[in-house]
Amino acid sequence: MIYLLTGENSYEIDRRLSELVAGYDGDIERVDGSELNVDQLPDLLAGVTLFSNKRLVVFKNASSNKPGWVALGEWFEKGIENDAAIVEFKPDKRAKTYKWLEKHAEVFRAKELSRGEALSWVEREVDKRKLVMPTGAQRFFVDYVGVDQWRLSSELEKLALGGGSIDDVRIRELVEPTPQATSFELLDAVFAGRHEGASKLLAIVSRQEDPYMFFGLLSSQVYALSLVKSAGGKRHDTIAKESGVHPFVLGKVSGLAGKLSLSQVRQMAAELAELDASMKLRPTDPWTQIQATLLRITT
């Protein structure tokens, strides 16, 4: 039997591979496909072991090794005696070997989760881990962490260590947000005049992110704010069609938009336009410039 496990969601691929390995009645051999030598293939795909007449050979990232990838395809076409699991995150789907696998292997595809899928997964994990986490906190958690399942799982583990009920406050205290979530939280803290909270968030993001990319995130949040604020009561899906901004982003900023005046949003847009020019022309550290701009808004 030949299995193809492919897609960008490495968490789900790892889960499926673990299931295959756990349920396999025979020996398991793992091979780094990027370092695969073609001369190894006869033993791996046709050879037997001393302890079992069955063997599952797991090849990871073999498509990055062109001679090995081509040779694997040739062996598969001829027929192999052992079983094989091919793990590929971003293969070239035009390659002959991949096309053969799509037609003849048992294929498991793992895409990155949508927000809705991530919410459903978190709900199941909360039940499985017997955590006390209300639905509202689960939504906030996904927005704060993102949809990457490795991060969601590790951050849930972190939250579970303290026991008790998990709410938005505890999530903010213990979990590191995504850059997108940080940019929104930062704007919320800025407009609310929470200097300490804004400084803490900026310190976190400045250790991990590129300042110019983060500036772009801030700008996109303010653009979404301005769309919602000046929409005159239009529905988010209508604004999304007219502007190209995702409805989820518009919904996320709508709560903040309700707290602000149009003049405040315009002031932030003007400040960011000035910051954009400054970051391009001045040699001053960009994070220092971002901090100074946000400080002006909070005062």
CATH no. for residue 101?
Answer: 3.40.50.300
What is residue 43's predicted lDDT score, i.e. its pLDDT? 86
Q: What angle do CA 34, 48, 14 make, to 5 degrees?
A: 40
Whether pTM > 0.85 for this model: the answer is: no
pLDDT of residue 124: 96
| Comparison of pLDDT for 36 and 181, the residue scoring more | 36
Residue 297 has pLDDT above 80, yes or no: no
Separation of CA 53 from chain center: 40
Look up the CATH number of the domain holding residue 206. 1.20.272.10
Q: Give tens-digit pLDDT for 75-115.
A: 999 998 899 999 999 999 999 999 999 999 999 999 988 88
Query: Does residue 211 carry a pLDDT above 80?
Result: yes
Mean pLDDT calculated for residue range 203-208? 81
The whole-angstrom distance between residue 41's C-alpha and the CA centroid of its chain comes to 35
CATH number of the domain enclosing 150: 1.10.8
Model confidence pLDDT, tens digit, residues 252-289: 788 788 888 888 888 888 989 999 999 988 888 898 99
Tokens of 298: 């909070």
pLDDT at 49: 61
Per DSSP, 90 falls in state S
Q: Can you name the residues that pair with 108 across neighbouring β-strands?
A: 5
Residues 143 and 207 grouped into a single domain:
no
Please compute the mean of the pLDDT values over residues 224-250 and round it to a whole number. 81
Tell me how far apart the alpha carbons of residues 267 and 56 are, in angstroms, rounded to a whole number.
62
User: How many domains does the chain fold into?
Assistant: 3
Mean pLDDT, to the nearest integer, of 9-23?
A: 95
Q: What tokens does 15 get?
A: 């889960």
| pLDDT at 229 > cutoff 60 | yes
Instruction: Tell me the range of 29-33, 223-227, 257-261 where mean pLDDT is highest.
Output: 29-33
Q: Could you tell me if 273 and 211 lie in one domain? A: yes
Domain of 163?
115-174
Q: What pLDDT score does 96 carry?
A: 95
Judge if 133 and 101 occupy the same domain: no
Residue 50 has pLDDT above 60, yes or no: no
How far is Cα 196 from Cα 91, in angstroms, rounded to an integer?
A: 46
Residue 299 has pLDDT above 60, yes or no: no
Question: CA-to-CA distance for 74 and 51, rounded, in angstroms?
Answer: 28
Structure tokens at 53: 């007449």
Are residues 130 and 144 both part of a single domain? yes
d(C-alpha 122, C-alpha 135), whole Å: 10
